[in-house]
Amino acid sequence: MDLKKVFVAVIFILAGIVTTSLFWKQPIFLSCLLPVLAFLKHLCAPIKKELLWFFLTGILGTATESLVMFLGNNPWSYAEPFFLNFPLWLPFLWGLAGTIFVTLREGILKRQ
């Protein structure tokens, strides 16, 4: 186990939760802040193809949420939707989450 990567992942999970909780009513600011967090995470614990992971999980996570909300019984909704029934910052949060969880996975599965 790579404790540094695990620690960095946990710290950035908490940072993402706190940041989103504090700034969700300021979508443009939060949309700028989440990629900055992803870049800081990259500086602390880089992963291979990090930018690809960021965009892929950002697009797929948001698309999946939109599809569930569109097709289902609306299991949840956002207070301030911006585009296709989701907030502007959501793809960036999914992108951050994707890179964090790849980092966490690498940290847990690394053999010493």
> CA 78 to CA 88: how far, in whole Å?
11
CA distances from residue 1 to 41, 71, 108, 109, 112 in whole angstroms, order as listed: 18, 41, 5, 6, 7
Check pLDDT > 80 for residue 109: yes
Place of tokens 């949840």: 76
Question: Burial of 48 by CB count in 10 Å (0-12 exposed, 13-18 middle, 19+ buried)?
Answer: exposed
pLDDT tens digits for range 13-51: 999 999 999 999 999 999 999 999 999 999 999 999 999
pLDDT tens digits for range 83-99: 777 899 999 999 999 99
Check pLDDT > 70 for residue 112: no
| 8 Å CB contact between 100 and 41 | yes
- What is the rounded average pLDDT for all residues in the chain? 91
